[in-house]
Amino acid sequence: SRYITRPSWLPGGKELIFGGFIGYGNRGIWTVPVEGGVPQKLEFGFDMWVEKCDVSPDGAYIAFDYIGSKEGNTIEGARTFEKDIYVIPFKGGAPQRITKIEKSGQSFRFPRWSPDGKRLAFHSIDWFADNEGKESEEIWVCEFPDGEPGSITEKMKGGGTHLSWSP
C-alpha cells in the first residue's frame, strides 16, 4: 500500500520531497524527479515514522512530524504516543526537536517553513479535548533554530491540516 503526503519543491525545481510510506512498513522521507521516476528514500539512521515534511527554502534542512516507537531504532527521547516537529540537515546529522512540550495527548504536525527560512509554522491538536468535542487545535510558529514555539491562535475546532505562508 502507499500513503503519500503533501509534496514540497526542492530548490532548483527539479525534484519534490514528500513524507509517507511506500509498501508495508516502509515509512520515510522520499524524493522524486518532477519528470517522473522511482521515489528514493532518504536515510538518516533512525526509523522514519514520518507523515508530513517540508524542505527549507535554501534546501539545507527538512522539517518533519515524527512519532517515536517503543521498538526499533527511534529518535532518542521521542514521545511514543504524540507527534513532535523535528528538523534535520538535508545531508544528514542529528535531528533537533522543535516542540519540547510534554503535554500528554498534544500532537504537533504539518510543519511548514517560512519563505525566508527563519521560522516554522505547524498545527497542534489536543486529542483528549478533541475526543470530548472541545476546541482542540492551534497554529504555532517558532523561530529557527533557537526559538520557543508559541501558539498564534486561540484553540479552535476544525480539522485543520496543511498550512501555507502568504507572500
Indicate the pTM of the whole model: 0.93
Judge whether 120 and 112 are in contact, CB under 8 Å.
yes
Calculated CA dihedral for residues 99, 39, 92, 109, nearest 10 degrees: 0
Closest CA to 121 of 138, 105, 107: 138
Q: What's the pLDDT score for residue 162?
A: 78
Question: d(Cα 132, Cα 19) in Å, to the nearest integer?
Answer: 30
Quick one: 28 exposed, middle or buried, by C-beta within 10 A (0-12, 13-18, 19+)?
buried
Provide the residue-wise pLDDT of the chain in tens; the chain has 167 residues: 677 888 999 999 999 999 888 777 788 899 999 999 999 999 888 877 787 899 999 999 999 999 988 888 889 889 988 999 999 999 989 999 999 998 999 999 999 999 999 999 999 999 999 999 999 999 999 999 999 999 999 999 877 777 889 87
